[in-house]
Amino acid sequence: MVDVILGLQWGDEGKGKIVDYLADKYDIIARFQGGPNAGHTLHINGVKHVLHTVPSGIFREGKINYIGNGVVIDPIILLKEIEHLEQQNVPVKERLIISKRANLILPTHKILDAASEAAKGTAKIGSTLKGIGPTYMDKTGRNGLRIGDIVQSDFLEKYNTLKEKHLQLLQIYQHEFDLAPIEKEWFDAIEKLKNYEQVESVYFINKALQDGKKILAEGAQGSMLDIDFGTYPFVTSSNTISAAVCTGLGISPKNIGEVIGITKAYCTRVGGGPFPSELEDETGEKLRKEGAEFGATTGRPRRCGWIDLPALNYACLINGVTQLIITKADILNAFDEFGICTHYEFDGQQTNELPYDMVNKKIAPVFSYFKSWGKINKGQQLPEELTQYIAYLENYLKTKVSMVSNGPGRDELIELEDSPLLA
Ligand code: GDP
Ligand code: IMO
Ligand code: MG
């Protein structure tokens, strides 16, 4: 069976921390989409680790961490991550397996990402500049290179053909760059990555399922950044939702079990695009400060606002969320009361449905206010205000909340009664 963890907002919901916590209950932890645009933070024994491509089960003994075919890999970034982990005595060679079908991010993909963003001017997406868009474009355009290609005799030829195409494209942009040093680092990293196991993934993952192994699929980004259902065009270039687990790992939908949706107790977004419940005032500033809301990949300040229930409801629908986990509940303690966006108002009407055009439509958030709960102590009864907040969310979203996270540490988590995860 494959259970899924994914973000329901615009990314950075705390997926990495939850995956690390739950990884102990699974045999394989698998990334199925995205690439090094992701930054998943884990705090283990007081040490902070940020993972970009390696799944967040890597610190757990005896677990396989699998990078699926739907992921795009930058060899330089992946190698840096591996070296960081090995310096921490994590036996990566024993724990990491890569699908041969995962597409490669070339140095010129990163340059194209930067050139494309610069050309967009004020309309830029706010990409992480990791080459994600251009790499997925080459994948769907049937020009991409894959991990399995690196050991083939015509790899260099294929690389040069694609590079030439990119160099021609770059002439249109008139973007300045220095390719040679990145190219050398890229080829050096490719050589070293040959020492890590690469598999024909369809048989690997399906055999694991037939053998009764339990798989935890780890989403990157969030549902509102999905290429089809997010706030297009201010999205990433992959499907981030539960449906992508099947195409990103090579498994049938009948294997999907729990779909665990992660949401912060408030809301953040990095980069451009619509964010109806954003607070562009001192309250938003306070959320950023208290929540330490700065990007794990780019260090950019995250935009902050109150939780957005119309968007969460939409995300629950498209993912088939079976249970919710609320993170960063501790941060709201800094406020006496906090808001919840229950409806959007536009064209003179209130609704809880998202409009087709979120970019140009002026959406006013309708907020209700709740009292905050003070300190949450593990092993003690939940504060009444928090219980009421959870009940409100469960009723609105018609989905059970199974856990509440109350700090960045691995064990700062409260499992609620009758959580299916306790089974
Ligand atoms: P991800 O991309 O979804 O894995 O999330 P990020 O790692 O980008 O961002 C989440 C941030 O919140 C990280 O710095 C985490 O260490 C931190 N975090 C996760 N859960 C909690 C929580 O419950 N409370 C607090 N205070 N911090 C948390
Ligand atoms: P995790 O997995 C937050 C955002 C970027 C930008 C848009 C497109 O850590 O939650 P891209 O580089 O994909 O072309 O950027 O998507 N973005 C993320 N925001 N968390 C992420 O990942 C993100 N990955 C991409 O900021 O607005
Ligand atoms: Mg992140």
pLDDT of residue 94: 98
Indicate if the pLDDT at residue 160 is higher than 70.
Answer: yes
State the average pLDDT over residues 253-265: 98
Report which secondary-structure segment, H or E, holds 81: helix 75-87
- Atom of ligand 2 minimally distant from the CA of 37: 24
pLDDT of residue 397: 98
pLDDT of residue 378: 82
pLDDT of residue 422: 53
Alpha carbon nearest to ligand 2 atom 3, residue: 11
- How many percent of the chain have pLDDT more than 70? 99
Alpha carbon nearest to ligand 1 atom 10, residue: 14
Going from the Cα of 323 to the center of ligand 3, the distance in angstroms, rounded, reads 21
Going from the Cα of 221 to the center of ligand 2, the distance in angstroms, rounded, reads 6
Going from the Cα of 297 to the center of ligand 3, the distance in angstroms, rounded, reads 7
State the average pLDDT over residues 131-158: 98
State the average pLDDT over residues 232-257: 98
Token pair 């409806």: residue: 343
Cα→Cα distances 198→25, 68, 165, Å: 24, 10, 28
| CB 307 within 8 Å of CB 265 | yes
pLDDT of residue 377: 86
Alpha carbon nearest to ligand 2 atom 20, residue: 11
CA dist 420 and 258 (Å) reads 9
Task: Tell me, using a 6 A CB cutoff, whether residue 11 lines ligand 2.
Answer: yes
* Pairing verdict, β 364-371 and 337-346: antiparallel
Indicate if the pLDDT at residue 10 is higher than 70.
Answer: yes
pLDDT of residue 262: 98
Task: Tell me, using a 6 A CB cutoff, whether residue 220 lines ligand 2.
Answer: yes
Q: What's the sign of the alpha-carbon dihedral 400, 330, 314, 237?
A: negative
Give the residue among 98, 71, 95, 76 at the shortest CA–CA distance from 85: 95
pTM: 0.97
Going from the Cα of 275 to the center of ligand 2, the distance in angstroms, rounded, reads 14
- Atom of ligand 2 minimally distant from the CA of 133: 14
Cβ neighbors of 387 (< 8 A, separation 6 or more) are none
pLDDT of residue 423: 54
Q: Is 52 a catalytic residue?
A: no
CA dist 235 and 362 (Å) reads 19
- How many percent of the chain have pLDDT more than 90? 95
Alpha carbon nearest to ligand 1 atom 13, residue: 41
- Atom of ligand 1 minimally distant from the CA of 13: 3
Which structure tokens are listed for 319?
Answer: 């993912």
Give the residue among 396, 243, 277, 217 at the shortest CA–CA distance from 10: 277
Probe residue for ligand 2, chosen from 127, 232, 263 as the CB with the greatest number of ligand atoms within 8 Å: 127
Report the mean per-residue pLDDT for the chain: 96
Q: Is 12 a catalytic residue?
A: yes
pLDDT of residue 418: 65
Angle at the Cα of 342 (from 338 to 346), degrees rounded to 5? 120
Going from the Cα of 322 to the center of ligand 1, the distance in angstroms, rounded, reads 22
pLDDT of residue 174: 86
pLDDT of residue 49: 96
Cβ neighbors of 171 (< 8 A, separation 6 or more) are none
Q: What's the sign of the alpha-carbon dihedral 75, 167, 180, 236?
A: negative
CA dist 339 and 398 (Å) reads 20
State the average pLDDT over residues 86-98: 97
CA dist 365 and 310 (Å) reads 10
Residue 279, classified by CB atoms within 10 Å of its CB into exposed (0-12), middle (13-18) or buried (19+), is buried
Alpha carbon nearest to ligand 2 atom 25, residue: 37
Going from the Cα of 250 to the center of ligand 2, the distance in angstroms, rounded, reads 24
Confidence of residue 379 (pLDDT cuts 50, 70, 90): confident
Indicate if the pLDDT at residue 179 is higher than 90.
Answer: yes
Residue 18, classified by CB atoms within 10 Å of its CB into exposed (0-12), middle (13-18) or buried (19+), is buried
- Atom of ligand 2 minimally distant from the CA of 127: 15
Cα→Cα distances 106→54, 95, 200, Å: 18, 25, 22
Give the residue among 45, 4, 28, 39 at the shortest CA–CA distance from 410: 45
Going from the Cα of 96 to the center of ligand 3, the distance in angstroms, rounded, reads 21
pLDDT of residue 9: 98
pLDDT of residue 367: 98
| CB 187 within 8 Å of CB 150 | no
SS3 content of the chain, % helix, strand, coil (to 5): 40, 25, 40
Angle at the Cα of 198 (from 111 to 138), degrees rounded to 5? 30
- Spell out which residues line ligand 1, taking CB within 6 angstroms: 7, 11-17, 39-41, 43, 296, 327-328, 330-331, 405-408
Indicate if the pLDDT at residue 413 is higher than 70.
Answer: yes
Phi, then psi, of 101 in degrees rounded to 5: -85, -5
pLDDT of residue 380: 85
Indicate if the pLDDT at residue 24 is higher than 60.
Answer: yes
pLDDT of residue 196: 98
pLDDT of residue 297: 85
pLDDT of residue 420: 60
* Pairing verdict, β 400-405 and 323-327: parallel
Residues pairing with 121 in the sheet: none
Which structure tokens are listed for 316?
Answer: 């629950």
pLDDT of residue 296: 85
- Atom of ligand 2 minimally distant from the CA of 296: 9
Three-state DSSP at 382 gives: coil
pLDDT tens, residue by residue, 318-342: 999 999 999 999 999 999 999 999 9
Which of 3, 20, 40, 74 is labelled catalytic? 40
Confidence of residue 417 (pLDDT cuts 50, 70, 90): confident
Give the residue among 208, 195, 93, 209 at the shortest CA–CA distance from 147: 195
